[in-house]
Structure 1
Amino acid sequence: MTEFISLSDIESAPAGVWPNTPVTPFMRQTFLAALERNGCVGPGTGWTPSHFCNDDLLIPAYVKDHSYGEYVFDWSWAEAYARYGMDYYPKLLLSVPFTPVPGPATSRGNELPDNFAAVLNEHCHSQQLSGWHLNFTTSALTEQLKQQQMPDCPHQRTGVQFHWFNRDYESFEHYLAHFVSRKRKNTLKERRSVSGQGYRCQRLTGTDIEAEHIHFFYQCYLNTYRERRSTPYLNEDFFQQLRQQMSDQMLLVICSNSEGPAAAALCFYDQTHLYGRYWGALVHADALHFEACYYQGIEFCIEKGLKAFNPGTQGEHKIARGFEPVLTHSFHWLAHPGFHQAVGDFVQEERQHILQYQQAARAQLPFHRTS
């Protein structure tokens, strides 16, 4: 069985665990370290870094005291534990914090070591954790974990996100040509509404993104949380560090009118994908969110030849704009045999509803049937 050590500091991992070409922006040491260095995870946050590491790879992991910031919702499981006088927290989460992006579980993007699920089981027993949860797995990792031969193997849970796919579109107009007439007119109407209100959107990448741009973006991001009477997970220092160290993978959209900047959306990208992550506005303007978060991203993907655009979780409003329902996967193991079985029954039943929902959502896509 592979031997791992536990790390509480991502920057102390051996240099050899990081490949020359990062597998996703969020699996870069820079991104994960910025979360720790700027206090987004660590003491007082309910996210205690507890990474698994050997000489070849690192697997980000956190001991959680709550379920915020995960996007695979298990609050009802915690409530069930409480009804029986048991503690659901702390638990172990293997995931990039606050990042619901399907991706690899390791720094090198390969599959997990053989028998790693058994390693996690034993770790939870020894550390008195209620169980472990691995969120947003790749297709390859999903298949690997489904083949686990264990008496109490982890349960697979299924969800839905809405992703955009580039089918060799030459322009945004070429993309819209694949829409049925009514949906195409609706999209054009939204874009004209934004320009008609006097807004113009600018896309910034790389060294064109300056500290003042990130400061403005953060004011927008913060305001959106305030309006929801919520507290943001991330602080400005985190975003400023990313600007300094990985702006080569950042896309910042800033929307302005005659009075100045009014809204912003921050995305990340790699060689094949764009990932929409953060949005905020200081104004309420018709369709401005759709323009900044979706249409500008689609245009960027077409210009750069990127294959897909993952704009984040939830949002059925994405369907009418051409974002297709795709399945996401996570795996869950609970140390208590009775609750582990109950969760297995739940996710099996839930999966049937998810598959029906995906089918219904797909029927609402705006494309011609032959597209």
Structure 2
Amino acid sequence: MRPGAGVQIGIVESISEIGAADWDALAGTPSGTRPRDPFTTYRFLHALEASGSVGAGTGWGARHLTIRKGERLLAAMPLYVKSHSQGEYIFDHAFADAWQRAGGTYYPKLQSAVPFTPATGPRLLGPADLRPILLRALRQITADNGLSSAHVTFCTAEEAELGQTEGYLHRVTQQFHWQDDGYGDFDGFLAALSSRKRKTIRRERRQAQGFGGEIVALSGDALQPAHWDAFWTFYQDTGSRKWGRPYLTRAFFDRIHETMRDDILLVLAVRDGRPVAGALNFIGADTLFGRYWGCIEDHPCLHFELCYYQAIDWALRHGLTRVEAGAQGEHKLARGYLPTPVHSLHWFSNPRFHEAVANYLEAEARAVDQDIEILTSYGPFRRGPREGETE
């Protein structure tokens, strides 16, 4: 592959080989600005590597794809060689099973993603004219190394469209997101709901806030090491129940405290001076990203309060227009989070398998479209004008 005179395509096994300023310039997050997507920043990806959350023994081996001209970095793609399909959230277990039942070896595969992070963001970092070259290089590297497949998950809609022109299969799945519609404050949001749903949310908030303590929202220098000690306990409990073992190491939280605490919102329920539950969020330029929740005491509706209602309330008070509450969870629908398409790209080295998956994804996309339409119709919002408005 020859993208141009003097231009080289390469692989680096650590983001530290690239450096923060070069990476963040490509990702559109220059120093001193709030990133649209905090997860594709150097500081987040470096924290995963430096803490041992990815790397040897994790099944996530960094192989970041680069395009350079001399020493100058022109474009890049966050990329990992995977030995399993865990921590991805757009799952391909059925593809792996079919490949291996046919006598093939599905792993390792290549994955462009942010590990353990089901949040849409750019995967093709750099100018528009070099993005097709990144996709072609990914496909070529997969084929040259005898790997089964390459995947680009939680990419943007624009990247998904480009990927289709480059021979990738486009997969559409869904998440539940909250969007500000000019509500002004939480009461304004409630006014947009049906009477029954509004009453339910008010009741849930009263129940949650009556747990016997206080709820605090911490960011920046208000975050202290003791808060991370508490949250680590919550995270271990949730991780062991959901995934068998937590994906992130304790050192990861120390790293993001050092480098990202201004981009973090930690909501804690504190009783008798002791945190008993918490929800971790990351702050983007216009979006609050909910990531992890955990507790050491069970209290009615406290999960809904910390993860969903506090997030909406904080976003409205700080001028953010969107809350993404992570993967799965149709229970979010009743709380104002509506189904939203999520995009990924997939390429398989075996042409017949590629064609079979294409047929499957076409049918799946129709089903997802129908689900989104039906679920949206069951949303909690009023069908008529808001209170105080006229037709």
Shared fold (TM-score greater than 0.5)? Answer: yes
CA contact (8 A) 1:105 1:111 kept: no
- Residue 108 of structure 1, CA deviation: 5.2
- Residues 275 and 309 in structure 1, CA contact (< 8 A), matched pair in contact too: yes
Q: Distance in 2 between matches of 1:246 and 1:208?
A: 13
Q: Which residue of 2 aligns with 1:122?
A: 140
1:178 to 174, 187, 192: 192
Say whether residues 1:67 and 2:73 are aligned partners: no
CA-to-partner distance for each residue in 1:322-345, whole Å, 9 max, x for gaps? 001110110100001111111111
Paired residues of 1:131 and 1:335 also in contact (CA < 8 A): yes
SS at match of 1:300: helix
Match of 1:169 in 2: 183
Aligned to 2:271: 257
> 1:273 — aligned with what?
287
Deviation per CA, 1:86-105: give whole Å up to 9, x if none: 10111000000011101101
**RMSD over aligned Cα atoms:** 1.6
Residue in structure 2 matching 1:16, options 6, 22, 26: 22
Of 304, 319, 323, 1:305 maps to: 319
1:89 counterpart residue number: 107
Matches within 5 A, 1:85-164: 85-107=103-125, 113-148=131-166, 153-164=167-178
SS at match of 2:251: helix
Distance (whole Å) between structure 1 residues aligned to residue 127 and residue 136 of structure 2 = 20
Q: How far apart in 2 are the matches of 1:241 and 1:205?
A: 15
> What is aligned with 1:40?
53
Structure 1 residue 141: deviation in Å?
A: 1.4
C-alpha distance 196-46 of structure 1, shift in aligned 2 (>3 A): same
Separation in structure 2 between the aligned mates of residue 111 and residue 296 of structure 1, nearest angstrom: 41
Distance in 2 of aligned mates of 1:145 and 1:257: 50
Residue of 356, 365, 369 corresponding to 1:342: 356
SS of 2:204's partner is: helix
Task: Give 5+ residue unaligned stretches, structure 1.
Answer: none
CA-to-partner distance for each residue in 1:185-231, whole Å, 9 max, x for gaps? 00000001012232421000111011110111111111223345710
CA distance in 1, matches of 2:334, 2:127: 33
> Is the CA contact (8 Å cut-off) linking 1:104 and 1:111 kept in structure 2?
no
Give the superposition deviation at 1:38: 1.0
| Equivalent residues, number | 367
The match for 1:234 is 248
Specify every segment of 5 or more residues in structure 2 that has no aligned partner in the other structure, as ranges: 68-72, 386-391
Residue of structure 2 in register with 1:49 after alignment: 62
Judging changes above 3 Å, is the alpha-carbon distance between structure 1 residues 155 and 280 closer, same or farther for their aligned structure 2 residues?
Answer: same
Matched-pair contact (CA < 8 Å) for 2:65–2:77: yes
The answer to whether the 8 A contact 1:158-1:354 is kept is: yes
**Could you state the TM-score of these two structures normalised by the residue count of structure 2?**
0.90
Checking the alignment, whether the CA contact within 8 Å between 1:13 and 1:58 is kept in structure 2 is no
- The DSSP-based 3-state class of the residue aligned with 1:271 is coil
CA distance in 1, matches of 2:199, 2:124: 44
Match runs of 1:326-365 below 5 Å? 326-365=340-379
Indicate if the aligned counterparts of 1:111 and 1:141 stay in contact, CA closer than 8 A. Answer: no
**Given the alignment of the two structures, is residue 223 of structure 1 paired with residue 237 of structure 2, yes or no?**
yes
Q: State, as a whole percentage, how many aligned pairs show the same letter.
A: 37
CA distance in 2, matches of 1:72, 1:111: 27
Runs (4+) off by over 4 Å: 107-112
C-alpha distance after superposition, 1:158-202 (max 9, x if no partner): 101000001222211111011110000000000010122324210
Please give the secondary structure, in 1, of the residue aligned with 2:131. coil
Aligned residue number for residue 70 of structure 2: none
What's the CA shift for 1:125?
1.3
**TM-score, structure 1 length as denominator?**
0.95
Q: Output the CA distance in 1 between the equivalents of 2:168 and 2:217.
A: 42
